[in-house]
Amino acid sequence: MKRSLANWLDSGAPWVWINAGAATLCLAMVFGLLLLLGVKGLGHFWPQPVLQATYTGAEPPASIIGEVAASETIDADDLYPATPGEEQGEIERQLLKLGNRDITGGDFAWVLTGLLEDVSYPPELAVIERREWGNLYGYLNGLRQAGAAVLPVGAQDGTGEARWNELHSRLDRARDLRREIERIERSIIADINFGMERLRLEERQLVLAGGDSAGALRENARQRESFDAQYAEIRLRLLELNRQIQRDTALFRIADGSTVEIPIADIVRAHRPNGMDWVESTRVYFARLIEFLSGNPREANTEGGLLPALYGTAMMVMLMSVIVTPLGVVAGVYLSEYAPRGWLTRIIRVSVNNLAGVPSIVYGMFGLGFFIYLAGGEIDRLFYAESLPAPTFGTPGLLWASLTLALLTLPVVIVATEEGLGNVPASLREASLALGATQFETLWRVVLPLARPSMLTGLILAVARAAGEVAPLMLVGVVKLAPSLPLDTQFPYLHPEQQFMHLGYHVFDLATQSPNVEAAMPQAFATAFLLVAVVTALNLSAVVLRGRLRERYRAMDTGAWA
Amino acid sequence: MKGGEFSELNPDADGVRPEPCLETRNLSLRYAGNRRALNKVRLTIPRQRVTALIGPSGCGKTSLLRCFNRLNDLVDDCVITGRVRLEGKNIYAAKVDVTELRRRVGMVFQKPNPFPKSIYENVAFGLRIRGIKSRRRLDEIVQESLSAAALWDEVKGRLHKSALELSGGQQQRLVIARTLAVAPEVLLLDESASALDPISTLKIEELISELKKNYTIVIVTHNLQQAARVADYTAFMDMGEMVEFDTTARIFTNPVKRRTEEYITGRYG
């Protein structure tokens, strides 16, 4: 027996088992993480049933309506004072999302499951997602148009289905009006603002330059008048649209029996989850998911979408790649191919490797001090003197964030490039040189093409790191809520000086900075899941790209090669 | 070229006294750490003959070979003194264009090292470096070179397939074709058949005998039979010194130095 154990140890099998075990553990952790984020994040969009019950724990017993957000079992001693010698056992309690924050003050409450009585799930109970104040739970009680009650056309009973359908047709109308308002605000008014700002800056430039500028100023004043006239006209149109959109209101009977009236324009989505089959549930699920991916955040980021964060993250990573790739590759090529092998090169190489270990917040400090205050401030003084004291580049923004992250990821690209160049067999270099190629021709035609896949791997790693980085970004350009996207239809289209939103920071903000923690939680999970998905997608696309390059390289071998 | 130096080359088997092509005088080479690889080597390589460099491992054969195309320049802290002349001109002179020298003195390495490109592009590499772009001219030279390296018939149907799909022997002949494509005068073969199977070795040896009509060939080999089979002249080196240089027949049958005889007969090295 002893002999066979020794044999087993000698065979090397234990090592294989240990290695396989470690690999399995890693995989389990990765998939476990993805599963947790996926279930918690993506499950949040599925419509949950809404219960109505009488809560006898309150004095007097209250009628409540809400969704179960969480449930747990706690020690009864935590709730009631313990009596010596008496075992109280455990108690189950549930976290209910009660909504109606504007009426009741809080929208979440813990209730003891045992004290809920007459629990029912009435199919006509409605969930109203609103632009403000979170969800409203209640029964649709009536509709009003300009203060007068509306009886739906063709309704036999004047209640129920017909009223619900009428609500939806009025919701559609409000949505169309809102789209029109947003279009006007985003394009026409933005154009006017942009033009007015340009005029103001031109005037300041003229004043700063001195000299005779009366003619130019007159021309500016004329343009300003035309802008003012345009604006007055648009304002009237907006007022009219706003009046129209406020026309309809809906009445809801809520849990305590009272009736509330809310403008239909404030409703994002209305559905009755208890009465929905899975087709309808799926429809609501995807509508919410699409809003999450393509909409703007609402309610201090706890509701709505995160398109700006997604967009900002992608823009920053792209800008960073454009900066870091040439810089890193050129530096790597120099260090590996041309730098004389001496102590100075060794010191540089060690420094580059150590840069990869510098805490990222230090890069953030450097970016703030060097890029923003020094470089940005200087740019403002030289090129944007007319808009001072308001800074243009001397303030955190997309460009500085990208530059800071480019610096942060530079070592990764340099090291990968050097590694790739070092892996090219010396025999191939010698072959090329022996044919009369210069060192540069050898580098360009033989060595670099072979090192390309490993350079791309370096870029992949850099991108993955940058997309997930948060700490330095907080100093150099990321904000909780950005008013506009860094790339839009306003000249000059790309706004590298603007602040932007970022998925990683969004997660931080939701998880720790939200005023309504319970409401923010699912959104935080969903955002974290999206962040992981984005990083994975970026990596995958880079892997695919690398595979393509390899293929093209192979194809290039068989065709003309220039 | 002084007349006196002709006398170094004894007449070959046919009684013809060849002209010198490459000459070294007092050639010494030291690597980093003062390791001396060559010590005052004096050697005259005959034109359009095959010269074999033999000797025990570490005797400096390869170092000497790499002096002929200045590939030693790439080695850090490598000090070369003395003279190497190609057709009477010092190749270590300051104004020498090293890339042009390397075109004139082609080299084939121990292990086949084709580029990871197509067969065609491997052969055309040196030509593209020289700026030849005409498709017709490239096609022509590629075919000529592959024919001269006795590879054309085997690869003519798959010129645009990867060179890495060829067998070891074919790869080595491809490398020879690649070297021939830039029209060199001298071919240096550094144990170029040692990593191949016997049949491929035989093919390479036949190729060498064929190529010597047009090229001056220097081979480094550990295989004495190979040297006896293909070389017209043989140089025996030991400890970085040129021990003996003469026609192959004389070195193998009637060496002057005792060290040479001991090495040839297998008692040394």
Pairing of strands B233-238, B241-247: antiparallel
Residue A80, pLDDT above cutoff 60 = yes
Q: Distance between CA atoms of B200 and B211, rounded to whole angstroms? A: 16
Tokens of A483: 């008013």
The secondary structure element, H or E, covering residue A25 is: helix A13-42
- Does B131 contact chain A (CB < 8 Å)? no
| CA-based nearest distance A8→chain B, Å | 40
Cα separations (Å) of A242 from A174, A178, A230, A246, A298? 10, 8, 18, 6, 20
Which one-letter DSSP state was computed for residue A152?
P
Under the banding of pLDDT at 50, 70 and 90, the label for residue A554 is low
Can you tell me the distance from the alpha carbon of A437 to that of B148, in angstroms, rounded to the nearest whole number?
22
pLDDT at A152: 60
Residue A549 forms contact with B (CB below 8 Å): no
Question: Which fold does the domain B3-112+185-264 belong to in CATH?
Answer: Rossmann fold (3.40.50)
Q: What is the pLDDT of residue A59?
A: 78
- Write down the pLDDT at residue B7: 46
B144: which 2 tokens? 């000529």
Q: Check CB contact under 8 Å for B76 and A341.
A: yes
Contacts with A257 (C-beta within 8 Å, 6 or more apart), sequence order: A63
Distances in whole angstroms, Cα of residue A542 to Cα of each of A310, A549, B5, B26:
18, 10, 64, 57
Q: Which two tokens stand for residue A39?
A: 């279930």
Residue type, B241: E
Q: What whole-number distance in Å separates Cα of residue A22 and Cα of residue A30?
A: 12
Q: Which of B74, B115, B161 sits opposite A431 (nearest CB)?
A: B115
Mean confidence (pLDDT) of chain A: 83
The residues spanned by each domain of chain B are 3-112+185-264
B122 in A contact zone (CB under 8 Å): no
**Hey, are the CB atoms on B99 and A438 less than 8 Å from each other?**
yes
Nearest Cα residue in chain B from A446: B115
A520 or B104, greater pLDDT: B104
The pLDDT assigned to A559 comes to 36
Structure confidence at residue A119 (pLDDT):
84
Please state which of the ranges A55-69, A73-87, B29-43, B82-96 shows the lowest mean pLDDT. Answer: A73-87
Per-residue pLDDT reduced to its tens digit, A224-283: 888 888 888 888 888 888 888 888 888 888 888 888 888 888 888 888 888 888 898 899
Q: What are the pLDDT digits (tens) for A394-426? A: 788 888 999 999 999 999 999 989 888 888 888
**Bond before A359 cis per omega within 30 degrees:** no
For strands B186-190 and A90-97, give the pairing: unpaired
B111 reaches A (C-beta below 8 A): yes
Bridge partners (DSSP) listed for residue B108: B189
Q: Does B70 touch chain A (CB under 8 A)?
A: no
- pLDDT tens for A137-152 read 888 888 888 877 776 6
pLDDT of residue A110: 85
The shortest C-alpha distance from B224 to chain A (Å) reads 26
- Min distance A538 CA to chain B CA atoms (Å): 29
pLDDT (tens digit, 9 = 90+) per residue, A237-251? 888 888 888 888 888
* Cα separation, A362 vs A359, whole angstroms: 6
Beta-carbon separation of B179 and A425 below 8 A: no
Taking a C-beta distance cutoff of 8 angstroms, is the pair B113, A427 a contact?
A: yes
The more confidently predicted of residues A544 and A462 is A462
